[in-house]
Amino acid sequence: MLHDYFGVLVFLIVGAVVGAALLVLGFILAPRHADPVKGAAYECGFEAFEDARIPFDVRYYLVAILFIIFDLEIAFFFPWAVALRELGPAAYAAMAVFFAVLVVGFAYEWRRGGLEWE
Amino acid sequence: MTFGGITLSPEDLRAVVRTVGAVVLTTVGVILSVAYLTYAERKVIGYMQARLGPNRVGRWGLLQPFADVFKLLSKEPVIPDAASRAVFVGAPLLVLTPALAAWAVIPFAPHTAIAPINAGLLYLLALTSLGVYGVILAGWASNSRYALLGAMRSAAQIVSYEIAMGFALVGVLMAAGTLDLGHLVARQAPNILHWYVIPLLPLFFVYFISAVAETNRAPFDVVEGESEIVAGFHVEYSGVMFAMFFLAEYANMILVSTLAATLFLGGWASPFAGLPWGLLAAPGFFWLALKVMILLFCFLWFRATFPRFRYDQIMRLGWKVFVPLTIVWISLEGVALWYRVGPWFAR
C-alpha cells in the first residue's frame, strides 16, 4: 500500500525541480541591469510615499475564520462519506445533528451580516 | 544496489525507473498542454471577436507558444528593492509545484494513475489548497499596494469557493464511497446513465463554476482586474517568475477540468459504453482528453462572453448561493442514499 505513495513523492520532487530549473534558467539567460527606478514598486508612475504594507479590511479576516470552520466541517465529512454504507443509522443520525449545528451557525452568520460585502 | 542501508533488487530499480519516467512524461505532457491551451485561448477568443488570433510564427501560428516561452525566458526578472527577496522568489515555486504534483493521482485510463493511492481525492484537495499560500506570499513579498490588494482579494475568493467545491466533492464521495479516483471512475460504469453528473447535476455546476473562480479566471478575475489594480498579486513579477505563475494558472485550469471530467463525467469511460459499437464504446485516454477539452473550451468561452463580476457579487455568489445550494443537495442525497434511490445509490 505504501509503495503507491512513491509516485507522489517522485512527482513532488520533479515538480519542485522543474520550477527551480526554470528559475535558474531565467536568471542565467536573461539580461540584468540594475536601475533605481526599475527597483521601485509600481504605483502608476509616481514614487511610493511610504511602505506598501497597509492595513486592510477586517472582513478578509472574517472570511478566513469562516473558511477554517467550514473547511474543517468538510474534512469531518470525508471519512463519514466514505464509510457511510458500513456505518448504519447511528452514523446518519450523528451526521444529521452535526450538520444541523453547522446550518444553524451558518444562518446566524448570515443574519448578523457576516457575509455582506455591501 | 544499496542506498544508505536500503537494499534495492533489480525489480525495485526497474519500478523506480518506470515511475520516474512516467512522472517526467506526464510533466512534459502537462507543460505542452499548457502551451497549446494558451494558443487555443488566443485563437478561440480571436475568432469569437472576429479577429484571426496569432498567425505569424509557424503555420497557422502553431509555434506561437514556443516564441512566447523564449521571450519570457529572455526577459529580465526584476526583483523590487523593497521586496522580501527569498519569499518573492520562492512564491512562484510554491504555486507551480502543487499545480504539477497534483497530477500524480489522476487516472488517465483504466489502471494508469502514477500513484493509485486510496486517498487520492484527499491528496488533491490538500495540494490544490496549497496554491493560495503562494498567491498570498507573492502579494505580500512584493511590497507593493496593488500586489497586496490583489493577494487579499484572491485569497478570500479562493478560500470562499473552496467551501462550495469541497461540499460538491462530499456529494460525489457520498455517492461513490471511495477516495480512490480510479475506483471512482469505475463506479460510474456501466453506461452514461450512471455518470454522477445525472444525480448530482447541481453539484456539477457548483463544482465547475467554483473551479473557474478558484483559478481566478474571467468572469471572476477581479484579482487581476486591469482597470483597478493592474495585474493583482503578480504585478511586480516579470520574466521567468511571471511565466511560472502563468504556467501554474493554466496547469490548474487543465487539472480542475480533468477532475470535473473524472468525478462527474465518467473519466476515461466512453459515453457509448454498453452499446455494441466496438471501439467507440471502449474506454480510453481519448475520451478523458475529449471531455477535458470540452470543459476547457467553456473556460475560454466564458472569458469571451461574460463581463467581469464585481467583488461583492463574487462573494455573494460563493457564500449565499453555492454554499446553501450544496447544503440542500447533500441533505437530499443523504435521503436518496437512505432509500437507495435509482441505479446510483443502490450500492
Neighbours of A34 (CB within 10 A): 10
For the stretch B130-143, pLDDT in tens is 888 888 888 888 88
What integer is the mean pLDDT of B213-220?
Answer: 83
Query: The domain A2-112 belongs to what CATH superfamily?
Result: NADH:ubiquinone/plastoquinone oxidoreductase, chain 3 (1.20.58.1610)
Rg (CA), chain A: 25
CB contact (8 A) between residue B163 and residue A54: no
B5-9, B102-106, B168-172, B325-329, range with the lowest pLDDT = B5-9
What integer is the mean pLDDT of A6-20?
Answer: 89
Neighbours of B317 (CB within 10 A): 19
Nearest to B123 by CA among B133, B112, B115: B115
- How many Å apart are CA B268 and CA B188, to the nearest integer? 10
What A82-85 contacts at long range (C-beta under 8 Å, 24+ apart), as own/partner pairs, is A82/B173, A82/B177, A82/B178, A82/B179, A83/B177, A84/B174, A84/B177, A84/B337, A85/B177, A85/B347
B238 near A CB under 8 A: no
- Asked whether residue B148 carries a pLDDT value surpassing 80, the answer given is yes
Residues contacting B26, CB < 8 A, separation 6+: A11, B103, B114
The mean pLDDT value of chain A amounts to 82
Question: In B, which residues are within 8 Å of A107 by CB distance?
Answer: none
- Asked whether residue B4 carries a pLDDT value surpassing 70, the answer given is no
B16 near A CB under 8 A: yes
For the stretch B324-343, pLDDT in tens is 999 899 888 888 888 887 77
- How many Å apart are CA B95 and CA B89, to the nearest integer? 11
For the stretch B243-295, pLDDT in tens is 898 899 899 999 999 999 999 998 888 888 777 777 777 778 888 999 999 99
Question: In B, which residues are within 8 Å of A84 by CB distance?
Answer: 174, 177, 337
Question: In B, which residues are within 8 Å of A115 by CB distance?
Answer: 315-316, 319-320
- Window 278-317 of B: residues touching A by CB (8 A cutoff) are 311-312, 315-316
CB contact (8 A) between residue B79 and residue A1: no
CB contact (8 A) between residue B327 and residue A106: yes
Count, residues in chain B: 347
Alpha helices in chain B, H assignment, sequence order: 10-48, 64-73, 85-101, 120-141, 145-176, 181-186, 201-214, 226-229, 239-264, 285-305, 311-316, 323-338
Q: Is B2 exposed, middle or buried (0-12, 13-18, 19+ CB in 10 A)?
A: exposed
Which span out of A27-41, B32-46, B101-115 was modeled with the highest average pLDDT?
B32-46
For the stretch A72-98, pLDDT in tens is 888 888 888 888 888 878 888 888 898
Residue B234: predicted pLDDT: 80
Residues contacting B3, CB < 8 A, separation 6+: none
Nearest to B337 by CA among A75, A83, A106: A83
What integer is the mean pLDDT of A55-64?
Answer: 81
- Domain boundaries, given as residue ranges, for chain A: 2-112
The mean pLDDT value of chain B amounts to 85
Question: In B, which residues are within 8 Å of A29 by CB distance?
Answer: 73-74
Q: CA-nearest residue of chain B to A31? A: B76
For the stretch B25-38, pLDDT in tens is 999 999 999 999 99
Q: Which helix (H) or strand (E) holds A71?
A: helix A59-87
What integer is the mean pLDDT of B204-232?
Answer: 80
A45 near B CB under 8 A: no
Residue A46: predicted pLDDT: 65
- Window 51-90 of A: residues touching B by CB (8 A cutoff) are 51-54, 56-57, 59-60, 63-64, 66-67, 70-71, 74, 77-78, 81-85
